[in-house]
């Protein structure tokens, strides 16, 4: 993945290492330039060099910001993207949030996920994301995953549909199936609908971040502030 989009990067490079753009830095884990991160995010959204199934696998196993393999704590945004929480905090503090993720302005814009992991059978040392109900793989592309926003539970869309529940099966928290269920790693019409569900201000920020308008305006990103106890707000 070059800044000009002329090089195709494979999944092994993005998932099994600490990330193409970040490993080329000066030693700082998050030393990648904003341009490099923007190119990576756009490649994932626009399917540059990746097929539909492979892109889904990458999005379900890789942090959208740092390009590192997902690990706890994992968070998700309202557009169904997955991130390592530390990468979100670093991007906010350093004001290096990629343009296509401009709807994330503070930690309150993401939800910490309850992820169920299982050891991979073929890839030694790597975990895989599974449904806590059916135990089916969620990052292989064969089963779609959803996030129940109020509880943060990650579950297969099929299991949730079959149970026909109005309460989270893991926490018993009530949820609205029409408003609180976020499909993870969405494509096409699914992603379009999720963008339309964003609050008005965040939709405008997304519009500003569109490739055709990226040079004319940049999103305003509010960095988190430090509380008295040192935590990030």
**184 and 76 Cβ atoms separated by less than 8 Å:** yes
Average pLDDT on 87-93 reads 97
Long-range residue pairs from 171-176, CB within 8 A, at least 24 positions apart, any chain: 171/114, 173/148, 174/150, 175/148, 175/149, 175/150, 175/151
Please report which helix (H) or strand (E) contains residue 120, including its range: none
**103 and 109 Cβ atoms separated by less than 8 Å:** yes
Q: Closest Cα partner for 115 from 98, 81, 138?
A: 138
Tens of pLDDT along 176-206? 999 999 999 998 889 999 999 998 655 555 5
Residue 116 has pLDDT above 60, yes or no: yes
Residue 173 has pLDDT above 70, yes or no: yes
Q: Which residues on adjacent β-strands are paired with residue 154?
A: 147
User: Structure pTM?
Assistant: 0.70
Domain chopping of the chain, boundaries: 68-213
Specify the CATH number of the domain 68-213.
Answer: 3.30.40.10
**Tokens representing residue 161 in the block:** 């549909």
What does the pLDDT read at residue 29?
Answer: 47
């Amino acid at each position: 993945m070059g800044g000009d989009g002329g090089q195709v990067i494979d999944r092994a490079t993005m998932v099994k290492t600490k990330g193409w753009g970040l490993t080329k830095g000066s030693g700082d884990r998050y030393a990648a330039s904003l341009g490099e991160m923007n190119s990576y995010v756009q490649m994932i959204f626009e399917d540059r060099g990746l097929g539909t199934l492979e892109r889904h696998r990458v999005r379900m196993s890789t942090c959208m910001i740092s390009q590192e393999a997902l690990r706890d704590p994992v968070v998700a945004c309202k557009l169904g993207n997955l991130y390592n929480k530390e990468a979100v905090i670093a991007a906010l503090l350093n004001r290096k949030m990629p343009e296509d993720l401009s709807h994330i302005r503070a930690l309150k814009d993401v939800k910490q996920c309850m992820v169920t992991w299982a050891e991979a059978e073929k890839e030694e040392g790597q975990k895989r994301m599974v449904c806590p109900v059916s135990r089916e793989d969620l990052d292989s592309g064969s089963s779609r995953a959803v996030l129940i926003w109020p509880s943060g539970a990650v579950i297969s869309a099929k299991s949730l549909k079959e149970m026909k529940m109005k309460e989270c099966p893991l926490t018993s928290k009530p949820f609205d199936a029409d408003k609180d269920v976020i499909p993870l790693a969405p494509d096409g019409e699914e992603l379009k609908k999720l963008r339309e569900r964003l609050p008005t201000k965040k939709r405008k920020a997304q519009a500003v971040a569109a490739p055709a308008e990226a040079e004319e305006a940049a999103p305003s990103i509010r960095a988190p502030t430090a509380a008295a106890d040192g935590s990030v707000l």
